[in-house]
Amino acid sequence: MRGIAETGAAVIGTGFIGSVHVQALRRLGVQVRGVLGSSPERGAERAREIGLSHSYGSLEELLADDSVSVVHVTSPNHAHYPQVKAILEAGKHVICEKPLAMTSAQSAEMVEIAKASGKVAAVCYNIRFYPLNQHAHGMVKAGDLGDIRFVTGHYHQDWLAKPTDWNWRLESEMGGALRSVGDIGTHWVDLTSFVTGLRAASLMAELTTFLPERQKPTGPVETFSSAAGATEQVTITTDDAAMIMIRYDNGARGVMSTSQINVGRKNSLHWDVAGSTASAAWDSETPDHLFFGHRDGPNQTLMRDFTLMNDTGVAAATLPPGHVEGFADSFFNFFRAVYSDVVRGGRQHGSTWATFEDGHYEMLFCDAVLKSSQEQRWVDLSEIGER
């Protein structure tokens, strides 16, 4: 059986997140065989910049490389569906960035193709792999919070707060009909579902576009970077922000918001779970601290410390207590879990990474949000498709 260090990988996409994938894979010891860019020229340029010796000229060339066992898809959302299908049909494992697809119809088909392939198929919801989120998952599963009653929180950023800010996610043809919900909102939906074990039964949503016109640069712009040079004015149809009320399948209730225009919030995913006996809360901008709330005793804050965490949390931790595990570490922890299953031949009992079934649930949620905002009513997820 091959070990992680003998496993070859390739990364589709050479932007910000593609580079993060490459860095985490190298740290893990995976052999990164090459990258595929938006063009052969772009791929070759970025490969040199990040110190890789090879870039692929086409997806066909990548899939023909027998030294590649796992393919990472970090391309724009509209490319996920055809690329993932081709990867699985070529007999390779796949890790796909979120959201899994453009629609729940696409994601439903991707689930079936993944099942038929027998390959590991993961969705990159890396935020599960901040160790304290794994610890919280274990606590809820053990009943430490009691029955879950109320789930609240947000995912707020400010990187698209100005009319001169630009990214391909602003274009529905590339990113999908939903932007703040599809891009960052699905992270919150996936994470709270993972922590609580609950899924939405129905929801009510309102979407808002505060900047209906923006200045689009005529040249390429990398995520989180500032544009420069000539621009053209374009109309924006995707959501800058959203407000969503949720009814869960156990009778619990939830309220969440998403925003990419909240000035000063760089990357704040916050969840607060109220149970019948205790509550817990976490924020991605202070990822090494988990809050616990009590009625009849003092509240507590747990600093990430593997001498104090449960087994689920410990399994995801890498660094000693007091050495902050952040964004890049969550990718490392996530890839370590997925690649451990790859070398074992498939997903193992107790694995906690997001599957294509999880990614499909997030797409059902997105389609329900879109339907609810258009029809201004509560929408059952069962109206969208089978879960």
Across residues 53-80, what is the average pLDDT? 97
pLDDT of residue 133: 98
pLDDT of residue 379: 98
CATH number, residue 151 = 3.30.360.10
The answer on pLDDT for 221 being more than 80 is no
Residue 171 · residue 346 · CB < 8 Å = no
CA 24 to chain centre: 15
DSSP 239: -
Across residues 142-156, what is the average pLDDT? 98
- Using pLDDT thresholds of 50, 70 and 90, give the confidence band for residue 228: low
Across residues 226-242, what is the average pLDDT? 88
Residue 217 · residue 228 · CB < 8 Å = yes
- Using pLDDT thresholds of 50, 70 and 90, give the confidence band for residue 218: confident
Residue 385 · residue 105 · CB < 8 Å = yes
Is residue 170 situated within a structural domain? Answer: yes
pLDDT of residue 387: 39
Per-residue pLDDT of 85-96, as tens digits, reads: 999 999 999 999
59 and 165 in a single domain? The answer is no
Is residue 179 situated within a structural domain? Answer: yes
The answer on pLDDT for 227 being more than 70 is no
Per-residue pLDDT of 197-214, as tens digits, reads: 999 999 999 999 999 999
273 and 286 in a single domain? The answer is yes
Question: What tokens does 54 get?
Answer: 């090879």
Across residues 353-365, what is the average pLDDT? 98
Most distant CA atoms of the chain, gap in Å: 63
109 and 195 in a single domain? The answer is no
- Using pLDDT thresholds of 50, 70 and 90, give the confidence band for residue 225: low
The answer on pLDDT for 195 being more than 70 is yes
| Average pLDDT of every residue of the chain | 95
- Asked if the peptide bond before residue 298 counts as cis, ω within 30 degrees of 0, the response is no
65 and 146 in a single domain? The answer is no
CATH number, residue 31 = 3.40.50.720
Across residues 173-197, what is the average pLDDT? 97
pLDDT of residue 226: 58
Closest to 172 in 3D by CA, of 76, 274, 303 = 76
Domain count, the chain: 2
- Residue 87: how many CB atoms within 10 A of its CB? 28
Amino acid at 234: V
Per-residue pLDDT of 329-341, as tens digits, reads: 999 999 999 999 9
Across residues 104-108, what is the average pLDDT? 97
148 and 286 in a single domain? The answer is yes
Across residues 291-306, what is the average pLDDT? 97
Q: At which of 102, 125, 148 does a domain end?
A: 125
How far apart are alpha carbons 286 and 325 in whole angstroms? Answer: 10
Across residues 8-28, what is the average pLDDT? 97
- Domain that residue 95 falls in: 4-125
The answer on pLDDT for 28 being more than 50 is yes
Closest to 143 in 3D by CA, of 254, 272, 275, 250 = 275
pLDDT of residue 230: 86
Confidence (pTM): 0.95
Residue 242 · residue 250 · CB < 8 Å = no
Question: What tokens does 135 get?
Answer: 């610890």
pLDDT above 90: percentage of residues in the chain: 95
Closest to 231 in 3D by CA, of 186, 141, 165 = 165
- Using pLDDT thresholds of 50, 70 and 90, give the confidence band for residue 157: very high
157 and 274 in a single domain? The answer is yes
Is residue 149 situated within a structural domain? Answer: yes
Q: Give the pairing type, strands 121-123 and 93-96.
A: parallel
Across residues 110-136, what is the average pLDDT? 98
pLDDT of residue 244: 98
Across residues 238-244, what is the average pLDDT? 98
Handedness of CA 188, 178, 83, 221 (dihedral sign): negative
DSSP 83: H
The answer on pLDDT for 1 being more than 60 is no
Is residue 171 situated within a structural domain? Answer: yes
Q: At which of 125, 148, 180 does a domain end?
A: 125
91 and 132 in a single domain? The answer is no
The answer on pLDDT for 2 being more than 80 is no
pLDDT of residue 248: 98
The answer on pLDDT for 174 being more than 50 is yes
